[in-house]
Structure 1
Amino acid sequence: MPHPAAARNLSRTLRDTASLSEAGLLPPSADLAGLEAVQARYAIAVTPAMAALIDPADPRDPIVAQYIPDPAELVTAPHEIEDPTADAPFTPVPGVVHRYPDRALLKPLLACPVYCRFCFRREVVGPDGGLLTTEQLETAIAWFERTPQVREVILTGGDPLMLSPRRLAWLLERLAAIPHIEILRIHSRVPVADPARVNAALAAALTVEKPLYLCVHANHAREFTAEAMAALRQLTGAGVVLLGQSVLLRGVNDKAEALEDLFRAMLRGRVKPYYLHQLDPAPGTARFEVPPEEGRALLAALRFRVTGLAWPTYVQERPNGGGKAVVGPVWRDS
């Protein structure tokens, strides 16, 4: 249910601490000076859909933890690094990241519907950042055309579904026309964080000749609202295959019950849980960290409690762009 004080502002995305305060989404004890310092460094965006879920009176609200800024973001732990996935060394042309032989990322923009407080690209994402020009997109497409070992293009960012349907359709059609590209994949928060953006035009843009997988990022069952479920149905109705990815986060989904609820909510939305990510060590994110051994124990606790359809692969990025390693769990039956 919407928080009463927030109702008057739920028609627009909230992008600064003043708006969050006016909407009643900050606790009375909030450190406003600290939050303004966070705002000066990292982007803020809370969509109406997510604002409606927030209970600022609950200090353990999992939606607050994901989207509302905290002064702790300005404290960098010794193990945290600015580019934890090492995108930069693997960027042959602007917007492209090529770490694996058979697939590569394309980041057409760095804007998102919401800005997660644990994001590993939080130093670069923002409402005005990273939109590739037509010339830069042509350069990126030309790179894919001349790199035949790449069979899969993963559109990420930022959030590719923030592009206009016309622009997105153009880009997907260009990529699908490359003979050696077999799979297109999109990573997005939009269907749950801003479901109003999912309409007939967007669904039509995702209808291409090549197989297309949409990987929906969600971390808590409450994100699967009625509006989100309707958006997901519209996408599957257009033939889009939905996968789910989540990050294991302290204070959000670090209980077996929370993970079970999340994976069951995904399946009800026709989303196959795909990846559960270990947190990437971006600056100021240490408060979200769950040790891998605890993550393995959480997944082990779900054994026999959920269908195999609900089971994601638990992965962690290796240092220096080494790619994903499977974390576990390892079963030891008695």
Structure 2
Amino acid sequence: MSQLLPEKITPFLRERLSDLKSSEGPESRAYLGLALQYCKSEEEGAVANEHSLKHYEAGVEVHNEECILPGLERLYRKTLVIEPTLVCLAHCRYCLRSNYAKHTLSEKQLIEVAKYCGHPSNRDILNEVLITGGDPLIFPQRLEVLLNALIEYAPNIKIARIASRIPGQDPARIDQSVQNLFSNKPSLRFELATQINHPVEFFPEVEAAFKRISDCGVKVYSQNVLLKGVNDNIETLVELYNKMRQNNIESHYLFHCIPMVGIHHLRTSVTRGLQLVKELVCSGKISGRAKPMFAAMSDIGKITFYEGVVVEKKDNKILLQSNYRYDERRMWNGSWQLPATAEVDERGYLRVWYDDAC
């Protein structure tokens, strides 16, 4: 991973890192809360148990006149993942797509994607798209093409979720061109998925950027990641979720850090995660309206930790039970293959072995 993912930090973040280092100190919780997310570490090259290079394989084979369209994934019945680009403004060190082949779809390809969404085989099932990457807000004009094409060719798509960390990485980019994306499209409900892992990230400029998005009528929510040294203590998590609510950002998942090569030093154990979440959501320390769901990003998709999810533990691996049916998964994604880490139980539901951390 350290060879494939060079350090990339925006000028805005570099300035804030420098300010925090000077004012709070290089070992402070505030500085490390940001630095560990973006600054390259020698620990990325350490030998560890994790061997995966991707978080899952869910590509959908969609052909246009010239070739197979890249950047489409489907694990869930009603939602298609669209990756217009895999370019980001900054590189998160725990990135789940750090080892994916880079691409940026042309306007013509984006129109073909919209036509696929509206194809008769999808029209009665597919009603939502998650536009992610990379960061799709890097190219707002190209994103506008995709959204207009969805309206024209795929009226079945009612919800467009756009995933972006730009508000926290370069808030000045949330300008009129981005705000215009959400205008004059009454047939689409817009939601913006972001990721904020430490309360220190709520700089005044960042708060203002999120307000500009919210003022457009966009629902903003955050899918956070539990990261060792960043937010793996109850005080930081309480402050984080309170800050999110103050900024009109809804909580969604709190992810256990994925088991991928190069990020072992950022992973807590699942047991530690469960302890923290229990204290966070069952203590009255945050509002019930701000509680996240603790989940694993497994090879077969997201699995939220409820009773009965952990089936077995063996050699630092955990067998997780899902409610995904194998036959249904194959029905809406014919390209999908059962991963080597997964199995089908006697009822036809998928289970998956997941690498824990110490």
- What range is the shorter-chain TM-score in? 0.7 to 0.9
CA RMSD in angstroms comes to 2.0
What SS is found at the alignment partner of 2:259?
coil
Gaps of 5+ in 2: 63-68, 309-358
Which runs of structure 1 show a deviation greater than 3 angstroms over 4 or more consecutive aligned residues? 90-93
Does residue 291 (structure 1) correspond to residue 269 (structure 2)? The answer is yes
Q: CA shift at 1:49, angstroms? A: 2.5
| Aligned partner (choices 7, 10, 26) of residue 58 of structure 1 | 26
Q: CA shift at 1:197, angstroms? A: 0.4
Aligned to 1:190: 166
Aligned to 1:220: 198
Q: CA shift at 1:328, angstroms? A: 4.5
The structure whose residues are more often strand, as a share, is 2
Aligned to 2:111: 138
What SS is found at the alignment partner of 1:185?
strand
| Aligned partner (choices 110, 132, 151) of residue 86 of structure 2 | 110
* Contact 1:249–1:290 (CA under 8 A) maintained in structure 2: yes
1:44 partner letter: E
1:43 partner letter: P
Aligned to 1:47: 10
Aligned to 1:254: 232
Gaps of 5+ in 1: 1-36
Does residue 311 (structure 1) correspond to residue 291 (structure 2)? The answer is yes
What SS is found at the alignment partner of 1:79?
coil
**Equivalents in 2 of 1:217, 1:98: separation in Å?**
21
**Equivalents in 2 of 1:138, 1:201: separation in Å?**
20
* Contact 1:176–1:184 (CA under 8 A) maintained in structure 2: no
Aligned residue pairs: how many? 286
Q: CA shift at 1:87, angstroms? A: 3.5
**Equivalents in 1 of 2:211, 2:165: separation in Å?**
15
1:127-176 deviations in whole A, cap 9, x for unaligned?
xx31112332233222212122211100000011111x322222112223
| Aligned partner (choices 155, 169, 180) of residue 156 of structure 2 | 180
* Contact 1:153–1:185 (CA under 8 A) maintained in structure 2: yes
Aligned to 1:83: 54
What SS is found at the alignment partner of 1:246?
strand
1:108 partner letter: P
1:118 partner letter: Y
1:265-295 deviations in whole A, cap 9, x for unaligned?
1111110111111111121011111112211
**Equivalents in 2 of 1:244, 1:272: separation in Å?**
6
Aligned CA distance change for structure 1 residues 187 and 76 (closer, same or farther; 3 Å): farther
Aligned to 2:242: 264
